[in-house]
Amino acid sequence: MTTPSGTISLNDMHVEAGGTSGTTCSFDDRDIRQLGYYYSPGTAKTFLQMRSKTRGYHNLVGTAGGSSYTFPSSPVSPGSISQARGVGSVILFGQLGTWAGSDTVYESAFTATAGHDSYITVYLSSSSPGGSGVYSGGQMVLQSGTASNSGWSYMQINSTYYYRTSSTYSAFGNGGQWVWPGNNHPNYAPFPNAGSTFNFYAR
């Protein structure tokens, strides 16, 4: 089911989000907010932006954060410097950026029945061996606390698509991790500069 493509009511959104028709709800309820992407920084949300939206899809705005980590040299390794940009908690880099507002728990896009993800982390990283200043091995990484490797097709960051079937998948805690080839520092596209916002979708 999806919300109507024409005239739409708050009750239409409420029902699509999993609520009971005619029961109390508000336009700012988290499950209704996350039905459809309306976070356009600097603009107000409207009913028109909630047309043709389907429950169970992530539609978020992130504020990109950046970090680096230095692996010290040793007798068997020249060491390296790794750089990252994105949103979420990454063991190597710590906390990167933030998701918009108070939406720290998301209606899940990654299961057929739209459960809850405990977190979503998405970031781009690359490394420079021996501090040479030349970066390689760029990877786009998506991590989800409860997701499985089915029930969704792609993620989209701004206008760039990353298809699940083109990724390298591995189990990650109770969820999963998907890795695609990515750009190398200092090119973090499709992420913007640290501190700037970007759109994140999963379908």
Residues with Cβ < 8 Å from 166, sequence gap 6 or more? 180
Q: Which two tokens stand for residue 115?
A: 């459960």
User: Average per-residue pLDDT in the chain?
Assistant: 82
Q: Where are the domains positioned within the chain?
A: 1-55, 60-202
In angstroms, the CA 15 to CA 22 distance is: 9
Q: What is the pLDDT of residue 153?
A: 83
In angstroms, the CA 200 to CA 195 distance is: 15
Residue 158 has pLDDT above 50, yes or no: yes
Per residue in 15-64, pLDDT tens?
A: 988 889 999 998 877 677 767 654 444 456 788 888 888 775 666 778 89
Would the pTM count as exceeding 0.75?
Answer: no
Read off the DSSP letter of residue 20: P
In angstroms, the CA 199 to CA 157 distance is: 6
Per residue in 124-144, pLDDT tens?
A: 999 999 878 999 999 999 988
The least confident of 5-9, 27-31, 46-50, 94-98 is 27-31
